[in-house]
Structures are given as C-alpha cells and as structure tokens.
Structure 1
Amino acid sequence: MQEFTTGTLRKPYSKLFGAFFSGLLASAAGVYLGQYLPKALTMPLWIAELILIFAMMFVRKHQSIGYLMMYAFMFISGLTLYSVLSIYTGMLGTTVVFQAFAVTTVAFGGIAVYTMVSKRDFSFLGGFLFLGLIALVIIPIVGIFVPFSSTTMMIYSGMGILIFIGYTLFDFSRLTVHGFTDQDIPMIVVSIYLDFINLFLYILQFIGIGSKN
C-alpha cells in the first residue's frame, strides 16, 4: 500500500521473503506476550503502530533503521492483535480461528503466486482500493451513531475481504512488474503484512457475524 523506489529495478525476493517470515516470527512473539499486556496500553500501542508506519516512509533510505522499525512494528502489532484474537477465540472457538487463519494463508499465498507468475499489472486498482479503504474507516464511525443490522455488517466484512484481496494483488503486482530495491524491503514487508492481517481479521469478522445469525 506504499510507493516503492523505482530507480534501480531489482527483485531480491529471497531477502524480501526472508524478512517477511522473520517479521512474522516477531509478530507471533508479540501475540504470545500480548496475554500479559495491560489493557491500558492497547490504545497507546495502536498509536505507536501508526507513528512507526509514517516514520518508515521518511527513513526508507536508511536500511538498518528501516529494519529496526519494521520488526518493532510487527512485534507491537502482535501485542495488540492478541486482544482481538482472544475475543474471536472466545466467540468462535480455537479451531475456527485456526481454520480462518489457514484459509487466509492459502488465499494470500495463492494470490501472491498467481500475481508473480502471471506478471499481470494490477496497479489500475489503486484508486478504487484507496476509496474502499476510506469507506472501511468511515462506516464503523457512522455505526457508532447509527447501529447497523447484522446483514449490513456481513456486507461490510465481505467488502473488507475483497478490498484486501485487491490490495494483495496490487502490492505483489507492483513488486513483479516494477521491481524493488533492498532499501524498499522493510516498507514492503509491513505493507504485505497489513494485507495479510487485515484479510485474516475481516474473514474472522465475517465468520463471527455469520455465527450470530
């Protein structure tokens, strides 16, 4: 979901996926330690995540700092993710949550492989996806004042799933078509991590609403 450097077109995929999987380990460690996190720290950590994302945009030329911020972001994201996962685990059960994670992993991996093999350019989706992302932010705010029906919320969750499927296509398309450099890797890792996590959360939300019906 971010702009990548296009001055020197390279595709160091081994470094990219190595950084991505090591970042996932940092996130998993955060999820584990999240059970010990005081609830009062959840909001400050969400704010810290936003600050780190914006800060990474300005330090991308400093690769070592970029990696440090990337791991910090993914670890903090894991800490805050624990509270959300605990809610869905209590609501749906551990098995369903793991099944949703498996579905997300297969879908995400399939989309990534398809995009990289087909080498199709999905950059035209950028404007539509950004508008959809704004709608995903605005709708819950409106819902505070105007309660939505469960059907409406299922449609909202479905929209979230489609938007982050689109962002997965969009991000991997740019990597394949336009290339990237070593300096871009920390920001790319955070971007595709957010695609994966948001897809997972919207799938969980869709299943959760469906279970109530």
Structure 2
Amino acid sequence: MSNLQNTYEWGHSSAVTRHNVLRNTYWLLALSMIPTVLGAALGVMMHIPLPRGFLGAILFLGVAYGFIWGIEKNKNSGVGVALLLGFTFMMGLMLTPLLQRTLGFSNGGQLIMMAFGGTSAVFGVMATVATVSKRDFSNMGKWLFAGVLVLIAASLLNVFFQMPALYIVISVMAIAIFSAYILYDVQQIINGGETNYISATLALYLDVYNIFTNLLSLLGMGGSRD
C-alpha cells in the first residue's frame, strides 16, 4: 500500500510540476511580447538603420545565437529572464525593415493585424492539439531541426539570388515547420521533457516570431500602394 501511495504522490507531484512549468512559460511568453513591441516601435519611429544583405544576416545570427547561449547558460536564474527580455527587444528591433515596408502600403496596418491574428490562431490551435492529443510528437524533433537548417541555408542563398518564388517557398515552409515546432515544444513541457520555463519560453517565442514574420511577409506581397 505504501508503494502505491508513494507512486501516486510522485505522479501527482510530477503533474503539478509540469503544470507549473507550462503556466510560467505562458506568462513569460506573454511578458516577452512587451519588449518585442517596444523594440519594433522604437525601430520604426527612430528609423534605426540595420545592416542588410549577407553580412547583415551573419551578424544577426551571431548576435542572436550569443543571446541564446547566454539564456541557456543562465536559465536557472533571474539573469536568464533578463537576457531573454533583452533578446526579445533585439528581435523587435529586427522587425524594423519588415514593418516599415509593410506600413508603406495603404493597408499596412491591417496586414500587420492580420499577421498577428493568424499567428495567435496558429499558436492557439497547435498548443491545444499538443495538450489534448494522445499522439506522441517527440519523434518530430530531429526532422524539424533538419528543416530549420535547410531554411537557414536557403535564406542565406536567396540573399544573393533574390528569387521571389524561392522567397515564397521559404516563407511557406517556415510557417509549416514552426507551427509543427509549437506542437513539439508544448508537448515537451507536458510530458516532462522540458522542465525549465525559461528554455521553454525561448523555444516557443522563436516559433511564434518566425510564424509572424513569414506570414506578414506573405501578406505583404498582396499589399496596396494606393
């Protein structure tokens, strides 16, 4: 009887821990949107120049991965939260060229709201599926990571070739891959594969950010200059 009781107590405690990680992740994810919006607003209002082209992409990747390394290194302390919020502010700044281009359309504000609404809907659906589904999505991880590597390589190549058709393919693939990543990342928390809410927030933030930017890019192709 004591063994059964211990097993029950351990299972209950584990479930509570996973619930707390998921709750804290959602709260921190919501909080991370504030510096993102502030960074984006500052970039647009101040017309902050950002490096473009191949060197700009390499510089961005270097700074981004530096932040990610720092966040993971300090994920068990408040420093990790501070670095995460600093990272999201930088990512907001990086939205400047896309937002400026979109706001140049007469319906630019509407396109941004559509991209925001679409991203929110994708996140809601995928997070719900990951929560209620009995299917195991853990085997998707290696395939999704391979897909991200292909996206990075294709994006860097398209910096040189500037092919609209390839740009569309990259954006569609990115939306599909990072939507699937939401399934994977949320279920990792639910199943106890990810027990740190800072790391979990970072993963979900990158999913949401990439879906938003690529969706806005696609919507911008139908923007009106009138």
TM-score normalised to structure 2 length: 0.78
TM-superposed CA distance for 1:140, in Å, is: 2.5
Partner of 2:199: 187
Assess if the C-alpha contact under 8 Å between 1:154 and 1:210 holds in 2: no
| 1:102 is the counterpart of 2:108 | no
| 1:173 is the counterpart of 2:183 | no
Question: Which string of whole-angstrom CA distances, capped at 9 and with x for unpartnered residues, describes residues 80-120 of structure 1?
Answer: 22332222222462112211211111111111112112253
Assess if the C-alpha contact under 8 Å between 2:40 and 2:93 holds in 1: yes
Q: How does 1:33-72 map to 2 (within 5 A)?
A: 33-34=42-43, 35-36=45-46, 38-39=48-49, 47-61=62-76, 63-72=77-86
Assess if the C-alpha contact under 8 Å between 2:102 and 2:223 holds in 1: no
TM-superposed CA distance for 1:194, in Å, is: 0.8
TM-superposed CA distance for 1:28, in Å, is: 1.6
Distance 1:211 1:40 in 2: 23
Among 152, 169, 178, which residue is 1:164 paired with? 178
TM-score normalised to structure 1 length: 0.82
Identity rate, percent? 25
Aligned AA for 1:170? Y
Q: Which has the higher contact order (CA 8 A, sep 6+)?
A: 1
Q: How does 1:2-17 map to 2 (within 5 A)?
A: 9=14, 10-11=17-18, 12=20, 13-17=22-26
Aligned AA for 2:85? Y
Go from structure 1 to structure 2 and tell me whether the alpha carbon gap of 1:60 and 1:199 turns closer, same or farther (over 3 Å shift): same
Aligned residues: 201
Assess if the C-alpha contact under 8 Å between 2:50 and 2:94 holds in 1: no
Q: How does 1:4-153 map to 2 (within 5 A)?
A: 9=14, 10-11=17-18, 12=20, 13-34=22-43, 35-36=45-46, 38-39=48-49, 47-61=62-76, 63-91=77-105, 93-148=108-163, 150-153=164-167
Assess if the C-alpha contact under 8 Å between 1:37 and 1:79 holds in 2: no
Question: Which string of whole-angstrom CA distances, capped at 9 and with x for unpartnered residues, describes residues 113-159 of structure 1?
Answer: 121122532111111111111111111222244443x3333222211
Assess if the C-alpha contact under 8 Å between 1:121 and 1:174 holds in 2: no
Is the partner of 2:94 in helix, strand or coil?
helix
Distance 2:75 2:67 in 1: 12
**Which structure has the larger Rg over C-alpha atoms?**
2
Uncovered stretches (5+) of structure 1, i.e. residues with no partner: 1-7
The runs of at least 4 consecutive aligned structure 1 residues that moved more than 4 Å come to: 40-47
